[in-house]
Structure 1
Amino acid sequence: MSDFLSDPMSLFGVKGKVAIVTGASGAFGALAAKVLAGAGAKVIAVAGSKGPLDEVVAECRGLGAEAEGVNRRPDSEAECDAIVAEAVRHYGRVDILVVASGKNDVAKITEMAPERFLDVMDANVTQSWLMARAAGKRMLEQGEGGKVVLMSSARGKLGHPAGYSAYCASKSAVDGLTRALGCEWGEAGITVNAIAPTVFRSPLTAWMFEDTERAEAVRAGFLSRVPKGRLGEPADLAGPLLFLASRASDFYTGHVLYADGGYTAG
């Protein structure tokens, strides 16, 4: 029970573990793939955009990790099963799953066609469910536990006045899926948790960090609700990811970890 005391940092080790990361060409997915690679995991990076995917795989290998790219989208049972099969073909097993694929579509509910709502729900909820199902089956067969990390948002807990009915609903559903699977797989040693960030620096949010009148006005309104007094940086997601992907979180499951500088606390 006290084997970690001589080396507490070993609790966060993922060296040699096989990690699947979907949405690896996106901001959080690329970060997740590279963080896990830098920590010594064998990475299966998954994305539908081949060019950006190849760049992420090259960066992972540049960090000294074994890494392979899978140019697929987790949008069907067959595709998700194929992604897991690729991981097993390359590295023999699956230990960690990070689902970072998803999307947003902003519009007032009265101006949003039902098809657009369903598209967001499919990308954020159905694909998380399908990917967790495929990887979970393999983890259950292995009988050695596993780590599943889903991507939620502060918007899973809080509403937004600017047309986020689809996104908020989808992330609330991801939170529910996290809790349900945490309960379902608890005795099998598979932990299921979610990271729920607020605004983080990425290509999509870069304008919010600029020294422009518009950006400053938006930041001021947002930061008035953030106790830490700043927007998020990629490094603020790296720590939570390693925690949830390692044995340091073995007693944590069904949990939504808010990486939000206290935004949802007040």
Structure 2
Amino acid sequence: MSALDNPLSMFDVGGKVALITGASGAFGAVAARCLSGAGCKVALAAGNAEAMAETAAACTGDTHQMVGRPDSEAACAELVAKTVDAFGALDILVVASGMNRVAKIDEMAPDTFESVMDANVTQSWLMARAATKQMKAQGRGGKIVLMSSARGLLGHPAGYTAYCASKAAIDGITKALGCELGAFGVTVNAIAPTVFRSPLTAWMFEETEAATDVRNGFLARVPKGRLGEPEDLAGPLLFLASKASDFYTGHILYADGGYTAG
């Protein structure tokens, strides 16, 4: 039977094993709930055990919690090994961990810049490296989804040099790995949102004068006329984690309401 006869089958990830780093954060929680709800066995990794437990409690399927961050070669190898020990394989990697530090360039300490680059770029690279080894050894391909941002394409006047540089680097890694791993059946793509609802951005959704002014200034450039919701990231993630995206690799998928189009 052709997939065209049952197109929803292309999005079936039932029984697949997913590893999500940054599972205590906003996008990590979306990824965990989305993939678990779609039938994946989900291994969660985060430094904040309490917040990760809340994410796990919101999942509907099998979960395995691991306290740790992808901050070294050994840590990444351990996260992959523990995932395989728990569920027998690794099919999907979602790197949702990362950070931002905002300061004008003449006020930002070099080690602050380096900390953002390490958390967003080096740790993503290390985690993708560890997953690649496992996926190659399994010999059945896999899916790697990294976290970019509209700021990987566009600048920002409010002290975002570290963040913009880090997300531009993620775009480069995504494209390079997409080329490198295609022959092994491993796709590498990135989701690049603009502002979406999370604990860090909750203030922008409030009906205060200050929030309204900031929000309206931002929305003037968003054709859809609203800020993002967690569900706006779930659809792209399921697509990139499933067979539906088998012919897509090295791609940056902008979940931004048209922000980067104009």
Instruction: Assess same fold via TM > 0.5.
Output: yes
* Paired letter, 1:223: L
Deviation at 1:192, TM superposition (A): 0.1
| Aligned structure 1 segments of 4 or more residues deviating by more than 2 angstroms | none
Separation in structure 1 between the aligned mates of residue 4 and residue 158 of structure 2, nearest angstrom = 49
Counterpart of 1:19 in structure 2 is 18
Deviation at 1:59, TM superposition (A): 1.9
* Paired letter, 1:13: D
Counterpart of 1:72 in structure 2 is 68
Deviation at 1:12, TM superposition (A): 0.6
Choose from 136, 154, 157 the match for 2:150: 154
Deviation at 1:55, TM superposition (A): 1.6
SS of 1:57's equivalent in the other structure is helix
Counterpart of 2:81 in structure 1 is 85
Choose from 169, 176, 191 the match for 1:173: 169
Deviation at 1:54, TM superposition (A): 1.4
Deviations 1:71-120 (A, max 9, x none): 01100000000000001101111000000000000000000010000000
Separation in structure 1 between the aligned mates of residue 57 and residue 257 of structure 2, nearest angstrom = 32
Deviations 1:234-261 (A, max 9, x none): 1110000000000000000000000000
Paired residue total: 262
Q: Does 1:3 align with 2:12?
A: no
SS of 2:145's equivalent in the other structure is strand
Choose from 232, 236, 239 the match for 1:240: 236
Q: Does 1:55 align with 2:54?
A: yes
* Paired letter, 2:92: I
Deviations 1:9-28 (A, max 9, x none): 11111100000000000000
Give runs of aligned pairs for residues 225-264 of structure 1, distance below 5 A. 225-264=221-260
Q: Does 1:98 align with 2:97?
A: no
Q: Does 1:196 align with 2:192?
A: yes
Deviations 1:163-199 (A, max 9, x none): 0000000000000000000000001010000000000
SS of 2:171's equivalent in the other structure is helix
Deviation at 1:6, TM superposition (A): 2.6
Separation in structure 2 between the aligned mates of residue 3 and residue 43 of structure 1, nearest angstrom = 29
Q: Does 1:143 align with 2:139?
A: yes
* Paired letter, 1:169: A
TM-score, with structure 1 as normaliser: 0.98
Structure 2 unaligned spans of 5+: none
SS of 2:4's equivalent in the other structure is coil
SS of 2:189's equivalent in the other structure is strand
Separation in structure 2 between the aligned mates of residue 14 and residue 124 of structure 1, nearest angstrom = 27
Coordinate RMSD, CA, aligned: 0.7
Q: Does 1:186 align with 2:185?
A: no
Deviations 1:141-161 (A, max 9, x none): 001000000000000000000
Deviation at 1:7, TM superposition (A): 1.6
Deviations 1:33-65 (A, max 9, x none): 1100000000001100111111212221xx1x1
Give runs of aligned pairs for residues 111-150 of structure 1, distance below 5 A. 111-150=107-146
TM-score, with structure 2 as normaliser: 0.99
SS of 1:201's equivalent in the other structure is coil
SS of 2:106's equivalent in the other structure is helix
Q: Does 1:218 align with 2:190?
A: no
Separation in structure 2 between the aligned mates of residue 161 and residue 56 of structure 1, nearest angstrom = 34
SS of 2:3's equivalent in the other structure is coil
Structure 1 unaligned spans of 5+: none
Separation in structure 2 between the aligned mates of residue 234 and residue 48 of structure 1, nearest angstrom = 21
